[in-house]
Structure 1
Amino acid sequence: MSAAIKLAEMAGQSTLDFFQKPTTEVEIKGDNSPVTIADKTAEKRIRAELEKQFPHDAILGEEFGEQAGSTEYQWIVDPIDGTKSFISGVPLYSTLVGVVTGGSCVCGVIYIPGMQEIVCASTGLGAWHSTGGDFSRCQVSTKPLERGLFVVSQVDSFAQHGFGEGYRKIEEAAYITRSWGDGYGYLLVATGRAEVMADPIANPWDLAAVQPVVEEAGGKFTSIAGENTFAGGNGVGTNGSVHEQVLKLLA
């Protein structure tokens, strides 16, 4: 886990060189999502370091795709999860690093460079949180949905992908709904500050790292269909006690 933490911190810190800088240009990719030199620089740094430390492991990253390996391990990275937040000058974007073996992510790191906040987890070792000092164990809340916080990244994406009615039902059931979620939303769930984070569409690099973080904090993470996977095309992370209720509302 220490190697994953160092990678996330190194890459995340590099993004601050371009954050809130008017000279940072934004490109639009084929899927209409934004990308900047900060995304590309951070992922290149992660890949370069992995090739030094773990040269035979596979790598999957948002900006430069998949690199085959000869071991059982694959590193799945998102240099900036929440590029729309990044280009808007909002410090709630994250750097995500996950380690996968046997189809399961066994180690995950969510690092928020703009706030120096990090949560990490490894299977069987619990989830740990830091805001710049020592790490301490973190855990999900026990709040019911009617007293809870529902976090999302982009509201209109629910309707665009067939979950508009489900979003409306959860918003009505929850006490508070807020956006700017992305990886930070899952961090909030893992540290007991939110009860639900949902992504109606997502890639493996958006979700691999967050699954062990939420689960090791005592919560539950699945696809909207209820599958125990980070590769289901969407994701829901909760404090566990509201999970089935949320999935039924989204169905």
Structure 2
Amino acid sequence: MSEHSQSLLQAATEVAEYAARVAMRWYGAGVAVETKGDGSPVTIADREAEREARAWIEARFPQDGLLGEEFDDVRPHATRRWIFDPIDGTKAFVRGVPLWGTLVACCEGETVLAGAACYPAVGETVSAAPGEGCWWNGARASVSTTGTLRSATALITDSRFLERPHRRDAWHALAAEVAVCRTWGDCYGYLLVATGRAEIMVDDIMNPWDSAALHPIITEAGGRFSDWRGRDTAFGGDVIATNAALANAARRYLLETPDHS
């Protein structure tokens, strides 16, 4: 592992775990919930976790840009920037469901240099950097070798959000073929794919703070991460993540044709 990659991977992991501990102060405490302009929920836990994460990065990488879900972009034209989602899965968080996490990515342009996801309520952290592998609670992580849809587990955050009919139809066709179909979604679904406990995870709408950290985690675990048009990107606005063995089979159902772009 190069010293540069190691430093960024360690920093991403440390700040994700730190911000997750901040969020945990309010977990299970009946925190008040506000509704943002886009209809999504937000709490003091989201804001304080991101505030602390930003301060942590500012103290160590003061020239870098900062982008997060809850606060304004800082130094948007910086060569390198850190992207935060303090609580991915706020709907789960406020209901005391442990399937939420804190996401942190370090990027140069659209290249993710390191990504980390901490799931404090279940005691798991997964992180990765290109060429350096994916690490799950300190051990190497890898996707499953399951090679048939009939044996696969497919996940989605909420199929009701597939508003475009062709995507809804594609998902239901795929779901009918797999062994298990569940909504263990948000960032938790990507943890399951990266660690071999599920094979397919899809999301219809993803902001940069939702997806950036997850790209190296899936790819360095041996999987494939693309948008619904098949592009290998963390910034496509939607995601299909799979193990390698089912990458083509799953995408035959899900990838959009030019007529559906």
- Scaled to the shorter chain, the TM-score interval is over 0.9
With the length of structure 1 as denominator, give the TM-score of the two structures.
0.94
Correspondence 1:227 to 2:225:
no
More displaced stretch, 150-159 vs 108-117: 150-159
SS in 1 for 2:53: helix
Could you list the runs of 5+ residues in structure 1 that have no partner in the other structure?
none
Match among 117, 120, 123 for residue 127 of structure 2: 120
Partner of 1:17: 25
Q: Which amino acid aligns with 1:19?
A: Y
Correspondence 1:245 to 2:256:
no
Match among 192, 199, 204 for residue 200 of structure 1: 204
Aligned pairs for 1:1-251 (under 5 A) are: 1-22=9-30, 24-68=31-75, 71-130=78-137, 135-143=138-146, 144-159=148-163, 162-250=166-254, 251=256
CA-to-aligned-CA distance 1:64-106 (integer Å, 9 cap, x gap): 1311166421111100001111111101100000111132112
Q: Is the 8 A contact 1:57 1:70 kept in 2?
A: no
2-structure distance, mates of 1:169, 1:126: 33
Aligned length: 246
1-structure distance, mates of 2:73, 2:198: 33
2-structure distance, mates of 1:101, 1:119: 21
2-structure distance, mates of 1:246, 1:33: 29
With the length of structure 2 as denominator, give the TM-score of the two structures.
0.91
2-structure distance, mates of 1:40, 1:161: 35
More displaced stretch, 85-94 vs 61-70: 61-70
2-structure distance, mates of 1:4, 1:45: 13
2-structure distance, mates of 1:160, 1:117: 34
**CA positional deviation for 1:229:** 1.1
> Percentage identity across aligned positions?
40
SS in 2 for 1:214: helix
2-structure distance, mates of 1:184, 1:80: 11
Could you list the runs of 5+ residues in structure 2 that have no partner in the other structure?
1-8, 257-261
Q: Is the 8 A contact 2:110 2:235 kept in 1?
A: no
SS in 2 for 1:228: coil
1-structure distance, mates of 2:71, 2:164: 27
Provide the alpha-carbon RMSD of the alignment. Answer: 1.3
